[in-house]
Chains A and B, each alone.
Chain A
Amino acid sequence: MVGSYLLAQVTDWLASGRNLFLAIHVLGVACFAYIVARRLVPLLRAERDPRWDRPLARLSKVCKFWLGQWKHPRYKTAGTLHILIFAGFILLATRAFTVLIVGVSENFVMPGLSGEAGHIYNIITDYAATVVFLCMVVAVIRRLIFKPGRYEVPERFGKTHKADAVFLLALIAILMVADSLFAAAKAAGQSQQGQPVEFLAVLSLPWLLQVALASASLPTLGNVYFGAYLLHEITFYFLLCYRPFGIQFHVETSLFNVYFAKLERGTLKPVKWGVSDERLDQVKSFGVKTYEDFTWKHMLDFYSCADCGRCSDNCPANAVGRPLSPRFIGIKARDYAYQHYPMFGRSGNGKALIGNIYSEDEIWSCTTCGACEEECPLLVEYIDKIVDLRRGMVDDGNVPQSLQKPLKALESRGNPYGKMEKKRADWANAKEFQQVCPVKTVGKGDSADLLYFVDSITSYDDRMQSIGRTTARILDHLGENFGILGAAEKDSGHEVRRFGEETLFAALRDHNAGAIKASGAKRIVTADPHAFNALKHDYKDIPPVQHISQVIASEVKAGKIKFNALENKTNVYTYHDPCYLGRHNQVYDDPRDVLDAIPGLKRVEMTRSKDRSFCCGGGGLMLFYEPKEEERMGVKRVQMAVNAGANVIVTACPFCMVNIEDAIKVAGLEGKMSAIDLAELVDQQIAREEPQAA
């Protein structure tokens, strides 16, 4: 009799608060719905961005990057913490909802979690809550004591975000404690009354609290139970409604941000989705000038940024003290959105972003190397935003003087140097070279199966012409029927497009595409990763394109290229991944395989290699831009090669060669460090005669 009375008591402990709990539920859900609706307002005014295609590809991204937390282990401590917290949240979601419902319907059991399954789930989540709680403790300690540098906010970007971060961590910790206390008080009460006790996982937070509460009186336990419920409910809804104001909104938005993430690497968004190239001239304004010119997905990116600082930690522009920090491209836009789309009252009208929240130099500082995007656990896009902001500046005539001349030259001469078109093939037509390696110019009666797209820098720059000649000699050695476009080739326009000059790019692309098609070539090869990326992703309906390193690698594998052993065996080589070969096109192994096939070549890796390669300073028009910086990216890169113990840097891009050779001089390492292009090295080592049998 007594037992049943007390049993009723335990389950009735919440009964007196039922109306209060229900009111908090309604209020919490209503507030959250209102806040989310207000947050959606700018997204509804944003530019269109069709991301509803290819659901399977998107779901697999969700599995890998959201559920699988793919990027997180790249930062070991923070990544491990995040994986644990994320897993805890996923596991605890059902438990949290069950607890919430219990307040208004005390006997509620989540379908599927009655009986044995429920007990197992409870044990797992006891530990999950404990782990999340401990992670919060560690995270707060990191924020307050160890202070990882990437969380710092440079003065020019405002105040530190530390207080907000710690506050949010504390709230989660409180939520875990409340949840555990709720289970502990119930178990302690059941135990005191000799009822079947829900088994609490040994040494978990609920278990410890149960031990602590073991001797508490029943009414005290009742109050603790009630209080824990209330604390849990209020904290839950407070967090839910507070997150959309701070750095934790990604808890809600990340799933959508990853699902709608960009699917194609190396590509750029069009000026306006749904507007064909032919109708582009009718578009009134190009690019992003006001906040509303961003697409809705880009706004979702701003909401989703977790302020983890990994983008800027990897950004070469940030590393050399340029005014750009990708993290704050997002944070500043989010602050702007929160300010101009407030919770109450009218939303502000579009103010120009450049000059207000972004500076011109900040936006021109980006080399579009992609290190930020490679690192972002939430797949936030940066390059498209930078390019859209540049398109806006170009449209307003707001282009640095140093870039205006090369752009004008690209318009009138098809190359940024203003050199004569008829001299574009001079590198190949020099008599001495034609005798060793005849290079056809296709189009005038001559045809070729393989087109070598040379691009401007290799055509005109005295130093880089060597890359052109060695590439031609390799193709010649392979017996390829190849040719070049000569004067009919114009700049690929890769950087023209990435610097926001879409109209000029389209003119260059149309010209080249026409010349390529007229050449009748079946395949294209280039030794310039920028041209490679342009032809592969920015051009349409042209033959397939390969980078010369891919061609060499497959011919090495097929045994058609054999190498002589290196004469100098003391050299230590390291391979520098060009951004547009590596990160943007995932060609990491081919150049390394080629190097490893050269007998006697000793190769080391720099710490920052492959997808974490450090941009050497940027290509194309970036060579003309005069950035505000403390140091050159190339100098930092050369230093990394020194630290790796190398004395020869191999790269596979003419722009990398410009930057690295300059940097070697600036760093005072002439004679101690040298740079060579993969094509040059291959041409030098290729065994042109069959090796004699020993």
Chain B
Amino acid sequence: MEILVCARRVPDTSENEIELNSAGNDIEHDELVYSINEADNYAVEEALQIVARVGGNVTVVTVGGEGDEEVLRREMAMGANHGVLITDDAFSGSDGRGIATILKAFVQKGNYDLILTGVQAEAGGAQVGGMLSALLDYPFASLVNSIEVLDGRKLKISREIEGGNKELHEIDLPCVLSIQTGINEPRYVGMRGIRAVASVPIPTFSASELALDPSVVGEAAAKVKRVDYFVPALGKGAEMLHGNREENVDRVLELVAAKGGLK
């Protein structure tokens, strides 16, 4: 099975202190450290596990700049066969639809049976997977938390439903799935693995190589624009319990029950 995973590099929320820039419309990017978007990492791990069961190749693609090679290398160190960087000045400022348009052009150059995305980027709007499938006219399922390959170009997938329930689907290939974190346990990649793939060339594609009309992507074509970025004012603080242990336990049970947490 040929699997394409669309990945994105994001500022690592657990390793950064996010601050607003002076203009107040974006975060301060100096001193940030980046990593692969967490859900995308689960998608790559899932692709690797599928390929380990049924054979095939995993390609990881990202739309971005030179700095984004870092995440491609990390995913290649995990075991992805290819990393591809789609980069062009014309792409900057693309909205979700723009990114989906770029990815669609790349997908059409290849022959992929299955396209995976993370369920959403940590700084994104969970748009690209759905839009990409629509642009490709492929079936789509979101919030996927298990994948089983069936005979006859079909997958059996399960999706997480509000409240922790699951529903099972069969879906035809080729398709696009957005992957929920927790679908698997991604393997660890250390410096050693990354060094081992440090000199593997990463092919790049520009707008012209993908035969993309620059007017349909980038800032000019974006129909969704960010106008502000702010940290919401803090709400009422936590309630501290000041009794002894037994009293506190009783009070906690009361509070949880009052909020509907205990039935």
Contacts and interface: CB of A to CB of B under 8 A. Distances in A.
B31 A503 contact: no
B14 A503 contact: no
A397 interface: yes
A501 interface: yes
Interface string B66-81: 0000000000001000
A467 B12 CA distance: 30
Contacts of A501: 190
A349 interface: no
A281 interface: yes
A413 interface: yes
Contact of B14 (A281, A399, A418): A418
Contacts of A413: 15, 33
Tell me the interface secondary structure of chain A in the complex: helix
Interface stretch (B119-127, B129-137, B142-150, B191-199): B191-199
Contacts of B259: none
Interface string A376-403: 0000000000000000001111110101
Interface string A394-432: 111111010111011101110000111010000000000
A401 B192 contact: no
A507 interface: yes
A588 interface: no
Nearest to B35: A408
Interface string A490-503: 00000000000111
A668 interface: yes
A286 interface: yes
Nearest to B31: A420
Given A401-B185, A420-B17, A394 B190 contact: yes
Interface string A622-644: 00000000000000000000000
A504 interface: yes
B180 to A, nearest CB: 15
B14 A405 contact: yes
B111 interface: no
B191 A411 contact: yes
Nearest to A501: B190
A504 B245 contact: no
Interface in B168-225: 185-193, 195-196
Given A397-B193, A422-B31, A409 B188 contact: no
A668 B245 contact: yes
Nearest to A281: B195
A420 B192 CA distance: 24
Contacts of A422: 31
A412 B78 CA distance: 18
A615 to B, nearest CB: 25
B14 A397 contact: no
B12 A418 contact: yes
**Most central of B185, B187, B188 by chain A CB within 10 Å:** B188
A503 B192 CA distance: 6
Contacts of B31: 420, 422
Interface in B1-58: 12, 14-17, 31, 33, 35
Nearest to A668: B245
A691 B15 CA distance: 49
B78 A397 contact: yes
Nearest to B192: A503
B190 A411 contact: yes
B101 to A, nearest CB: 32
A504 B191 CA distance: 6
Nearest to A280: B192
16 contacts: A394-B188, A394-B190, A397-B189, A397-B193, A398-B187, A398-B188, A401-B185, A404-B188, A407-B190, A411-B190, A413-B15, A418-B12, A419-B15, A420-B17, A422-B31, A503-B192
Interface of B: 12, 14-17, 31, 33, 35, 78, 185-193, 195-196, 245
Shortest 6 CB-CB distances between A and B: which pairs? A397-B187, A418-B15, A399-B188, A503-B192, A412-B33, A503-B191
